[in-house]
Structure 1
Amino acid sequence: MPSVVVRMLMALSAEAGHSVLEIGTGSGFNAALLSFVCGAENVTSLDVDPELTRRAQRALKASGQQPDVVCADGAGGWRPNAPYDRIIATCSVRTVPLPWLEQTVTGGLLVIPWDTPWCNFGTLIATKQADGTADGSLAPFGSFMLLRAQQVDAELRAGFPGAGQDPERSMTGLSPWSVAGNDLDAQMYEEYVAAGRPGVHRQRLRLTPDGRGTRHEVSVSGTVA
């Protein structure tokens, strides 16, 4: 969706000379736009699918933009060209891979679509801090397929023989339409970041390396009913 591409690139605030890592090459369209802005020599784009990678390389060459397109698992980032001023993903994650945080310069931006078992919606925009953490918030746009390495749904697998546990299910009496009026995007966003509680006007997300991966601490400020 071109409108989402534009929103994400605006959030990325990439400029000429910035080193950019894109996770998820796809058709190569986003990589071409980044190359036009930052210079193709400063853009690295990864895709786990070799056929998509080959097609994107051909399309980019035909467009006159030839960034470094690599067939690799994006979950590990791409250390040969690190560090990066900007990292952008065109796939969703449920936890930000630690290499992405490690490969971003202090003050650099990460723009990453977000996913939970309940809802695939929202884009994390975070700034790398001097202490190695990243701090930011979720913007109310973006819905992408999950990063290949994270395409495992624990709830779907839990009830299978040998899984060792059965899923627990519960119901809520809260109407989703009561959260944010008639604005569906706003309704989804507020439900997503505030667990369906009205009155919440701002949320903050912090990524902290803890040796095992990346821990996410979400705090919500505002009047919670």
Structure 2
Amino acid sequence: MTSPTPSEPNPEPTSADRVYRSSFGIAGGVFLLALTLVFVADALVRGEGRAPWLALAGLLLAVPLIVAFTIRPAVYANEDRLRIRNPFRAILLPWGSVADVRAGYSSEVFTTDGVKYQLWAVPVSLRQRKKAARRAARASQDDPSGRTSVTADVRDNASRIAQSDQNVADLREMAETHQGRPGAQGAPQVRWAYEIIAPAVVGLVLLVVLGATG
């Protein structure tokens, strides 16, 4: 295997992954996990009869689901591909297979085959979007000191764009910039998160069995 010449594009990513996660979601997940553990510990210590077993089965069901919807979601992007970690699936999309990245009521990526995947780690906040729109509208008017011109282009000012919209814009720019790289070619790959699904199913089955036999 020969190394690329100066005239050839480097097939290897030259930068680390950009990571997109919801800090609010992670904080909420940690809180819910702590609360769940408190309730289960109380049931184990004070519970009688089948209560401890029901609590353990509920824990086995609840913990994977809490992790799946709060802590697990993440988006990793480098020069070759977009890797999406959603609650129950992991999706690998080479940039060459990405047609568009957009944000409406949710953040979504579309492949060249017309398949849509949601970006759970980049939630859309309509409240932030409205606040950003108000800031942009105020900044487009002259202030009393004349520091802001009515002709100023404020669209690219990150402080006047909702964070989720800025993240989507960054991902769209990466797709447009890197989709021609040799390392950015290939078909999408999707994998089910059995490490989340399996314990949740076991916990659900145990709850059903304990409830039916109680």
Q: Give the TM-score, by structure 1 length.
A: 0.25
Q: Which has the higher contact order (CA 8 A, sep 6+)?
A: 2
Q: Which structure has greater helix proportion?
A: 2
Q: Which structure has greater strand proportion?
A: 1
> Is the radius of gyration larger for structure 1 or structure 2?
2
